[in-house]
Structure 1
Amino acid sequence: MTTNDPTADDVDDALAPDGSRRMFKSERGPFQVFTAPAILAPPQPEEITDEMVEGFLNFFDYSDLVNKGEPEVEVREAVKQMSRASMPGMTSVPLFDQGGPKGMSLVWVWFGPNYKLFRHGHPPLGDCLYLVVAGSLHLGHRELGPGDGFFVPHGMLYRYRAGSQGVQVLEIRAGTEEPLGTPGSFRMGEPSVKAIRKLTEDLIEHQSEWKHWPSRIGEDSSADW
């Protein structure tokens, strides 16, 4: 949750020569304070409805596969099944969002142990800086832990896999053309329907490991709570 707090005692009062208050303001916006909202539990497999899957599906742009000759009905069904398999292993919290092409946004995301993220890009959502805050992830041949991170330029395709204890990351974005959550903002980068189905099988195999998730940002989710 984001709030304006121009009268906070711990920040520069920014008084004008006549004693009146003036706010420092960049092209991205004024001074703001945000606090973390509650973390929503990811849905369990038996709780996932067709409506939820359809909603998740709307985030995807899979036109590259269709343009390559993959039958659209098969692509759509494969992405739906992948979405259903992936939903129990992730949850996210938008922390800050200024909106607009000059604004910045901050999102916290948790992926469960050995969760394999699909190859994708975010063409309308600008550049993104990722910071690992707990757990670990595997990006290519590298393992990244707390304090490590990576930068993804606008529209670049990428994927990674959560480590054996899961991973919590912060996504810091700038230069967005569309608001977070815009339909079609996930460009599907998997090379074929076959690859998507294989990924779905891998996700289903690891669902039993996604029984515990953080109740607070940065909290260890490997034990019962």
Structure 2
Amino acid sequence: MAINPYAMILSGGSHSEILDRWAELSAADQQQAAAEVRDEQIPDIATYIVDTCQLVGVQKTLIFGGMLHLFATVVQPADRQELFENLLEDLDLSRTQAFRCRAVWERFGLKFSRETSLHRHFCAESLKILAEERTPDDAREEAIMLAQNNERITIKRAKALQKKYGLQPVANVSPSAGASTPRAASSRWSFAGAFVRIQLIPAKANSVPDVSKMIADLEAAIAELKAGGPNARVA
């Protein structure tokens, strides 16, 4: 075995070259390569993997968001709306995730294009949380400042920043032309599950909420429930 993929990691090699090399090895050679790693080197390998996977995730989110925003702009006229839905189908991407990726691009695209060093300090999900409409600008600005000081912005950190500055009420507005979720919800929506009954009532009376924003609120509620487990606050 000429080149040990773990040695390539420790020397800061390209992840694509490392994976190409790993794929070439037989199961026996992979075991031999692992046996050559010293215990004190394992944390450095873990750090490389975390940094690499998070970096790729952030870049993918920005690419998706930017490309979707670009396409939504060109199909903005009402008679072209179906083209955006067709694109999401081709990408096998849900409207919710399309909405979240676009929000990341709209909030962070220019900043991250100019300061690519920021990419490694976020993960895709922390960016999506910070890009939510209900996240105060101050929370986003502090996250950028912390990242510029080489601090990692994890999901937990992003939620803490939301809590620190307080969540903003989400405006109930009709989606713009070319939006990833062109359909609107009825004034009330309910769901009866095996354990609970859920009813969504617009925060603002007589408003017609956007489906994408309803989904974002539901996902935030689910995340909060998961974080709190059995002790999560129930109104």
Same topology, TM > 0.5: no
Q: TM-score, normalised by structure 2?
A: 0.25
Q: TM-score, normalised by structure 1?
A: 0.26
Say which structure is richer in strand: 1
The higher relative CO (CA closer than 8 Å, separation ≥ 6) is in: 1
Say which structure is richer in helix: 2
